[in-house]
Amino acid sequence: MSGNGTILVNDGGFGSGNAPNFDGDNADGSLTPTEIDLPSVTDGLTKKFSTCSLSGGAKRILILDGESLRTKDLVDCEKGLCILKLSEASKERIVKTRQLLETIVTEHRTVYGITTGFGTFSNVQVAPQELEQLQVNLIRSHAAAYGEPLTPSATRMLLALRINVLAKGYSGISLVNVEKMIAAFNAFCVSKVPQQGTVGCSGDLCQLAHLALGLLGEGEMWSPETGWANAAEVLKVHGLEKMTLGPKEGLALINGTQMVTSLGALAVERSFNIARQADVIAALSLDVLKGTTRAYDVDIHRVRPHKGQQLSAQRLRTLLHSDTNPSQIAESHRNCGKVQDAYTLRCVPQVHGIVHDTIEFARGIINTEMNSATDNPLVFAERGEIISGGNFHGEYPAKALDFLAIAVAELAQMSERRLERLVNTDLSGLPTFLTPKGGFNSGFMTVQLCAAALVSENKVLCHPASADSIPTSCNQEDHVSMGGFSARKCLKVIEHVETVLSLELICACQGIEFLKPLQSTRPLQRVYDLVRTVFAPLVDDRYMKPEIDEVIKLVRANQVWRVVEEEVDDFKDRECRDPDTLRQDTTTPTGIVLAERYGICD
């Protein structure tokens, strides 16, 4: 966030009560201010801002400075939780840059995209009286994308991010036009932006041209009051002025990686949520399958100290059986003779761990890209120069999102195999397909089938889009990133992962029905209770799709993590103070077996 901070306002318009309750609103709808620390991208300092839940119409003012926007901020824009405002420093930079550009135009210098054509036409000089029409022509000609439009909420992210890039002050756009963009955002007026048709270099030209077209009063726009309608009419309904473009302003609006990056921010945040919940769901499955917790011993992961692996193992220790946090299910098989489990149980920290680390890698790339000047040419007011470069190339976010998709897909690979164990009586000891009347009822037979199908689709979607490149613009743009598809398919992979883990969660809770009256640990029992608010135990076959969808909603809303978060943090703190708090010793089921079999004692 900007050092200027975040201001709370009450907006009675769109967004009041419409945003998902992701961030811990009070049950009574009241506002709870909290302090959140966010490290600055540029100087490493921690900046504090006040925020609160936004039910009842309260929103926070997100101050854009081109330097400190984070993925979560952008996702809050997607949810309709923010009103935008420029920092004062950004306003000053924008004005200085525009003054330099206008001076250059007045002096009739030859500068790419300002007094010349674009791409292959960069050697064509444009007459002074045609410079403004040149920019309008650019927007109209480049608004040629294809496919279903982005949702209005996703387009808000795109618009907010483009404004943030302009706020850096290297684009040459006028302050009045940036303020018109902010006014449109704050009124929730967004252009129709088809998703396909970008090669991710020179940025997302087609999508950003569609974004700009509506602000010119052409094409279509959407608002809560009008729905999809003629852009000029939407602007008129909301009392908004059309943008009028001067030299270079059309180019300033469309040159950049904002579609791949804005969708990438959403992918990072959704990945972060599902990866944490994957640890929780895996823990529940392990307890139901009567697995051993020995593989999560702190010393095992201390000697292979990958950050994500240690994080995942610690979460599993906090969730599963210990003297501090007992599970009756675990106690029931204390002398079962089992020493180790299959890899999808035993190696959860090693597999989930690299997913956690990959998410943080992708977050770093996306956060940097969100606060980068990706125009061409760039205007350096302090040097008095306009320089052509290649910051519009989308290879950074494209590669990061291809990597993210590959990593997150593994969560579903692991989950589907655990789900198979749950429904397979030979592997679980539970009734086949988790139904008490097998044969007469099919139980969860096709739930596993559905999970397998989604995992298979992910294998295809994980092929990296950025491995391809097709030259464009008469071979002037002879290497491109294909980042738009990297972002779109990454989100589809994440959607499948959320679904597969939800199916595993449903089956794990059904497994508990056959272990009653035994209970799991306190945090895992709360997960069971959460699921039972929307999905009743299966006794006889019934139509389950609506209930499955409700569980998926819980997972996408991060509710599985929320019900265990406090206890996970508490046990983590205890373990930091006393490393033996959650350590498994010879009194644990596996410890007893090892001690008896090999004479081992801790």
Nearest to 9 by CA among 58, 51, 66, 73: 58
Q: What's at 563, amino acid-wise?
A: V
For residues 145 and 393, give the distance between their C-alpha atoms in angstroms, rounded to a whole number.
18
Tell me the two tokens of residue 359: 């998410």
Q: Give catalytic residue positions.
A: 112
CB atoms within 10 A of CB 43: 11
Nearest to 76 by CA among 56, 61, 65: 61
Tell me the two tokens of residue 390: 């290649």
Tell me the two tokens of residue 531: 């699921």
For residues 318 and 314, give the distance between their C-alpha atoms in angstroms, rounded to a whole number.
6
Q: Would strands 58-64 and 220-223 be described as parallel, antiparallel, or unpaired?
A: unpaired
For residues 154 and 292, give the distance between their C-alpha atoms in angstroms, rounded to a whole number.
43
Query: Hunting for tokens 């906090």 — which residue is that?
Result: 318
- Cis peptide before 202, with omega less than 30 degrees from 0? yes
Contact 226, 236 (CB under 8 A): no
User: Within 13 Å of residue 130, how many CA atoms lie on the same side as its CB?
Assistant: 11
Contact 273, 72 (CB under 8 A): no
Contact 550, 559 (CB under 8 A): no
Supply the Cα-derived Rg of the chain in whole angstroms.
27
For residues 226 and 281, give the distance between their C-alpha atoms in angstroms, rounded to a whole number.
42
For residues 113 and 123, give the distance between their C-alpha atoms in angstroms, rounded to a whole number.
10
Which uninterrupted H or E stretch holds 527?
A: helix 522-532
For residues 136 and 139, give the distance between their C-alpha atoms in angstroms, rounded to a whole number.
5
598 Cβ partners below 8 Å, 6+ apart?
A: none
The CA-atom distances, in angstroms, between 577 and each of 110, 295, 366, 509 are 67, 22, 35, 33
- Cis peptide before 537, with omega less than 30 degrees from 0? no
- CA torsion 216-220-221-222 (nearest 10°) is 170
For residues 132 and 72, give the distance between their C-alpha atoms in angstroms, rounded to a whole number.
37
Contact 467, 405 (CB under 8 A): no
User: Within 13 Å of residue 572, how many CA atoms lie on the same side as its CB?
Assistant: 13
Q: Where are the beta strands (DSSP E) in 80-145?
A: 82-86
| Residue 24 Rama label (left phi>0; alpha psi -120 to 50; beta) | left
Tell me the two tokens of residue 466: 């950025």
